[in-house]
A and B are shown apart, each in its own frame.
Chain A
Amino acid sequence: MIASGPEADQKRRPSKINVRVLRQDGPGLPPYWERHQVDYEPDMNVISVLQKIAAQAKTSEGKSVTPVAWDCGCLEEVCGSCTMVINGRVRQSCSALVDRLFEDNPEEIELQPMTKFPVVRDLVIDRSRLFHSLKRVQAWVPVDGYYDMGAGPRISREAQEQNYPLSQCMSCGCCLEACPQFNKVELQRNPGESDEDFTKRKEAAYESEFIGAHAISQAMLFNSHPVAKSLEKERMETITSTGGIQACGNAQNCVAVCPKEIPLTTSIARAGRAATVYAFKKIFDR
């Protein structure tokens, strides 16, 4: 609350932080590296480094530049906004502590935008595909309406304990960045194309591609809800079609990078089993 000065620190810290940022002025434009230097303070994270870079708007060579653009929100790793590639690893920048990064490399911090999503500008990327996947798997409870109808179904403690971790997915996209089967989809707007038409064309392109580990996990979450189960068939249809579970090579990279430690491979295994059952059923129902 009150402005803080440098802490009487046990460990010696450099007085400056060197940062190398991969910048890009807009979609489709060439990326370029830029160096910045900011003063070190205790308890900094990458967000506070970026805040200082924005306030300075000067490179380490002293050249005036526009502030680096980036996304953030909660600053406590719960909103999913601030994902970027830091020192080669995808993660949330709000929980990337400078002191920890220094343990790996005291010389420099390297910041890059996620590579699996189109760059909007600098570190800001367009993750609309990630949210569109949630529509593809109908990740919701299809209640009748919002009038008062009494309580929901009784839920056992075990079920809650299984589902709660899955429902903590904050749509950050780390799992997608790390996934070898999740490839970038980037379309350029055609001259004169309206927002609506461009969105439609993007969504069509997303639909032929992999939905991603996060969406598979959400499908499993809702398939296990007593009411949301009613859409199980529709979800399984998505999961067994193009871009569904068969696109997953089971490389398990996703689970290793999820900041919320969501048991993604468990969800994927469940989805795999459910897909087999669903495929059989479909054959016999014909």
Chain B
Amino acid sequence: MASNRVLVVGGGLAGLSATMKLAELGIPVDLLSLTPVKRSHSVCAQGGINSVNDQTRQQGDSEWNHFDDTIYGGDFLQNQPPVKEMAYWAPKVIDLMDRLGVTFNRTPEGFIDRRRFGGTLYKRTAFAGATTGQQLLYALDEQVRRHEAAGLVKKYEFWDFLGPILDDGGRCVGAVAQDMVSMQIRSFPADAVVVATGGCGLIYGRSTMSVFCTGSAASRCFQAGAKYGNGEFIQVHPTAIPGADKLRLMSESARGEGGRVWVPRKPNDTRPPKSIPESERYYFLEERFPKYGNLVPRDIATREIFNICVNEGLSVDPNRMCVYLDLTHISRAELDRKLGGILEIYEKFQGVDPREEPMKIFPAVHYSMGGLWVDYEANSEGGLVPGSPRNQCTSIPGLYAIGECDYQYHGANRLGANSLLSCIFSGLFIGPGIVNWIKSNKASADLPKSVFERAVGVEEARHKKLLSNTSGGENPYLIHQELGDIMTRSATVVRYNDQLTDAYSKVTQMAEQARRCSLADTGNWTNQNVIFTKALQDMFPVAECILKGALMRDESRGAHYKPDFSMPSLTSTDPTARHREAEQWCDAFDENNRKFLKSSVCTWKGNEPDLKFEDIDTRLLPPRPRLYGLVGAEVIEQVWKERAEAKAREKASAPKELVGSA
């Protein structure tokens, strides 16, 4: 047997955990990344990572509950078996990270400390100070360095993945990539390729993500034939610090510790915030949601802040949208003790002390739930078959996707502290499946050279063409800015079909424009100009998936909110009429699910995505409505419960069906 190799593209939490698991299984790995893997975007994660634990278990929690919360939080848009498997693995993932030396916060007795995050009743979240992502990433980076020192892993850092290589039968047999220093383009034959290239926030210009999160790698797989799922689901975090270069996250814990969100009641009030009397302040979250106040769920807080600035014109800054997040009523000592780390970020980047002045914050694009479509093989309990080569495989055999760049785990809305989990879980879990895939296939190293040379030739031609295109006249940085503005305006918090239609046609035109970019740098040494321009061009296919999905999905679900197609509150006050209304509401809900409880799955057709809706595997948990903030929620809940019970009775009397694989 010619020696087998696997290529892992991306060294965030997902890519590193896959690399170390494969190395443990004795497979040599080439690990390719835009940046030294230790600098991957995963370092930015602050809050933590979820799992059921001994303490929550005794309070009634279970893996099943974690699974249920994740599905419910995601508005039922996930195929359930992979999510179930993840929830059941979560405690093992934390145990492993603990053994690898992660400096998790500790209880006085020396156990891992936990905090509570959104979307659950239990304290499931393990954390390491305010830098959980960094600490997890470093532990994995260290293990991979250990395998690198032993010779099993070879790193290619400052390399740009340009696309998968397919053989004549359509199987992925390697990839083409470019050295960002010498600009050399070469092929990497591999028996399987794993893309773990993270999110695509840069399509929105500025977001809470790192500059590496262009989505270009996923787009290149998409353009090579891999399907892209649920692109329209983009999570917008309610509180970020607007900056000229980046929107930096202001953690939810600021509100958790008593932070209050407000604007002056009078539009364009230019007085300094502290001189505005209480009676002239509008604490809009507290007034509108008396029960939850400032701690309404993420999507609600985001919509309200957006609305107060955009539609009610109450932004606190005349030139840009933002509201106050105020901590100044809390004592300095208490703030330092509980929120030190995150307040320092504000101070460092705004040059203003948030203990003295209210912070100015606004929602920001934060996470991509959608991504490359991936397969799975379910077992009879509704989890996954371990070692199945189908798990995490894209629609191109031999090409795998894990981490934020897949579409698998978070449905319409990701719960806090679940992403780090999905990254590490999927990275560890696919190892044995890939080994089995390799065993059943001819080694790529034995394929004719021409397969690889052809692929390199295509990329070299693209590169040369870009460098020699001096007459095009378009500036890639300006096009990027414009793309970001369009996407931010049309496809974030609130979505309207006319705006989306308009944005879609603009974006397709701009994709043409981006092909006419002329570069200020036409050299062949560390040419960041050309690397960026390629990434920009490849943002368009994904941007089009996002817009098309948003346009065709005429409903509201999770992060995707269309006021024109939202389920209304109940209006009657008379109990019988209200009950009847609730019945109708439930009928409408069922009807809507028949249409839209589906993944949007795009295929690239050379110049635009073709979108189809695909059924979702809800074999374990029947969908139920998320009723937050709706008038009449209790009645709807009551009706829903009665119906569910009736269905259950019906099912119990019917002959049992075997649950097969999806």
Contact = CB atoms under 8 A, between A and B. Distances in A.
A204 interface: no
Interface string B337-354: 000000001001111000
Given A48-B244, A120-B181, A140-B143, A54 B529 contact: yes
B242 A4 contact: yes
Interface in A132-186: 134-135, 138-143, 145-146, 148-152, 154-157, 159-160, 163-164, 167-168, 170-171
22 contacts: A1-B242, A1-B488, A1-B492, A8-B270, A41-B244, A45-B245, A54-B520, A64-B520, A76-B246, A80-B38, A122-B526, A131-B36, A135-B145, A138-B149, A143-B100, A146-B428, A149-B95, A149-B99, A152-B99, A164-B129, A170-B38, A171-B38
A15 to B, nearest CB: 15
Contact of B99 (A74, A75, A141, A163): A141
A265 interface: no
Interface string A37-80: 00001111101100100110100000011110100111111111
A25 interface: yes
A170 B134 contact: yes
Given A79-B39, A154-B111, 10 more contacts: A51-B245, A64-B520, A66-B523, A74-B39, A75-B248, A120-B181, A121-B525, A146-B96, A170-B39, A171-B38
A157 B110 contact: yes
Interface in A7-48: 7-8, 25-26, 41-45, 47-48
Given A97-B349, A142-B146, A167 B138 contact: yes
B503 interface: no
A88 interface: no
A100 B106 contact: no
Q: Classify chain B's interface size.
A: 35 or more
A95 interface: yes
B98 A55 contact: no
B320 A2 contact: yes
B450 interface: no
A74 B146 contact: no
Nearest to A225: B101
A222 B108 CA distance: 22
B363 interface: yes
B105 interface: yes
Contacts of A95: 348-349
Contact of B525 (A26, A127, A154): A26
Contact of B92 (A54, A73, A148): A148
B317 interface: yes
A140 B146 contact: yes
B146 A1 contact: no
A55 B243 CA distance: 18
A81 B108 CA distance: 36
B642 interface: no
A72 B40 CA distance: 11
B565 to A, nearest CB: 23
Interface stretch (B75-83, B206-214, B375-383, B507-515): B206-214
Interface string B490-527: 00100000000000000000000000000011010110
A51 B142 CA distance: 32
Contacts of B212: 73
Interface string B255-293: 000000000000000100000000000000000000000
Contacts of B240: 1
B528 interface: yes
The winner among A121, A140, A142, A222 for most chain B CB atoms within 10 A is A140
Nearest to A161: B106
A141 B100 contact: yes
Query: Chain B: interface secondary structure?
Result: mixed
Nearest to A126: B181
Contacts of B349: 43, 45, 76, 95, 97
A124 interface: yes
Interface of B: 20-21, 24, 35-36, 38-41, 43-44, 92, 95-96, 98-101, 103-112, 128-129, 131, 134-135, 138-139, 142-143, 145-146, 148-149, 181, 204, 206, 210-212, 236, 240, 242-248, 270, 317-321, 345, 348-351, 362-365, 428, 475, 477-478, 485, 488-489, 492, 520-521, 523, 525-526, 528-529
A248 interface: no
A163 B129 CA distance: 11
A75 B134 contact: no
B241 to A, nearest CB: 9
A99 interface: yes
Pairs of residues from A and B, 9 with the lowest C-beta to C-beta distance, nearest first = A57-B520, A55-B477, A4-B320, A140-B142, A152-B98, A66-B521, A5-B319, A121-B526, A152-B99
Interface string A251-278: 0000000000000000000000000000
B39 A2 contact: no
A151 B526 contact: no
B606 to A, nearest CB: 31
A6 interface: yes
A170 B98 contact: no
B245 A47 contact: yes
Given A97-B349, A160-B104, A48 B245 contact: yes
A41 B245 CA distance: 11
A141 B102 CA distance: 10
A247 interface: no
Given A7-B317, A149-B99, A156-B106, A43 B243 contact: yes
